[in-house]
Amino acid sequence: MRIMACAALLLCSVLPALGQAETGASPPPRKTLLAFSSDAEILDLFNTWSRELKRRLGEARKEKLAAGEPSALAAPASAAKSAEAQAAVAGAAQESVTNVQHAGVDEGGIVKVHGDHLVVLRRGRLFTVAIRDGQLRAVASVDAYGDGIDPRGAWYDELLVSGNTVVVIGYSYARGGTEIGVFEISPAGALRHKATYHLRSNDYFSSRNYASHLIGTRLVFYTPLR
């Protein structure tokens, strides 16, 4: 299964480091690395990491805003391989979606699955990574916003996938509202921007919840306005 294959890749990256321990007269180390008991246990671990990452990003975001620093701009295309590696650790085990707390309700996240591809949102860019046959291969990368849109002062936090449609949700302090980017994804993993919409709102960010939800084919947003 994909989950077990990705877990195996993660373990393979850890084991060589363990093998570098100094040798000498000391007794051999005890075997303390335990196997996962089920796919559900793996998913729980990755979801825990995802929530912790979201919490830390939220804290960093608040600190930058308090200091008056601009948000991170789109990373160059050369960041694709870095994104692939981090996506493999942070989300490769998600067989359907990143985070589901209620049956039938998908929540926005930074990693989703479309067929044989991971869809990854990272630093203002969208990436697709092929995961067929247990291998990770970069396929495509595009800006998470449309042509002619200035990303300065904007944060792109969440994505959702429905059929062949990818939706990126962000918040623009410069434009004062929730930004919704719509992309088309092909079976081969290619990405194409289709449209961008803006909803007038205050900042939706919460370290405990997500701004966007997908129920069937219906998008539901939390967009505070006060």
In a domain, 144, yes or no: yes
Name which of 187, 170, 188, 189 is nearest 179 in CA terms. 170
Q: How is residue 138 written in tokens?
A: 């970069």
In a domain, 20, yes or no: no
In a domain, 22, yes or no: no
- CA pseudo-torsion sign 105, 154, 166, 128: negative
In a domain, 30, yes or no: no
In a domain, 31, yes or no: no
Q: What is the pLDDT of residue 13?
A: 47
Q: What is the pLDDT of residue 178?
A: 84
Distances in Å between the Cα of 106 and the Cα atoms of 14, 40, 46, 48, 103 are: 31, 17, 16, 16, 8
**3-state DSSP of the chain:** CHHHHHHHHHHHHHHHHHCCCCCCCCCCCCCCCCCCCCHHHHHHHHHHHHHHHHHHHHHHHHHHHHHCCCCCCCCCHHHHHHHHHHHHHHHCCCCCCCCCCECCEEECECEEEECCEEEEEECCEEEEEECHHHCCEEEEEEECCCCCCCCCCEEEEEEEEECCEEEEEEEECCCCEEEEEEEEECCCCCEEEEEEEEEECCCCCCCCCCCEEEECCEEEECCCCC
Distances in Å between the Cα of 191 and the Cα atoms of 1, 165, 167, 171, 217 are: 26, 10, 11, 21, 20
Considering the entire predicted model, what is its pTM? 0.55
The CA distance from 124 to 181, in Å, is: 11
In a domain, 24, yes or no: no
For tokens 């919490």, name the residue. Answer: 55
- Measured at the CA of 168, the angle between CA 115 and CA 177, to 5 degrees, comes to 165
Q: What is the pLDDT of residue 135?
A: 80
Q: What is the pLDDT along the chain (226 residues), one digit of tens a residue?
A: 554 455 444 445 444 444 444 445 556 665 556 677 877 777 777 777 777 776 776 676 666 666 655 454 444 444 444 554 444 434 433 444 455 566 667 778 888 889 889 999 998 899 999 988 778 889 999 999 988 888 888 888 889 999 999 999 888 887 778 888 999 999 999 999 999 998 877 666 555 556 677 877 888 877 666 6
In a domain, 106, yes or no: yes
Q: What is the pLDDT of residue 177?
A: 81
User: How many folded domains does the chain comprise?
Assistant: 1
Q: What is the pLDDT of residue 7?
A: 45
Count CB neighbours of 72 within 10 A.
16
Q: What is the pLDDT of residue 151?
A: 85
Q: Which residue range(s) make up the domain with 8?
A: 2-12+37-221
Q: What is the pLDDT of residue 106?
A: 79
In a domain, 55, yes or no: yes
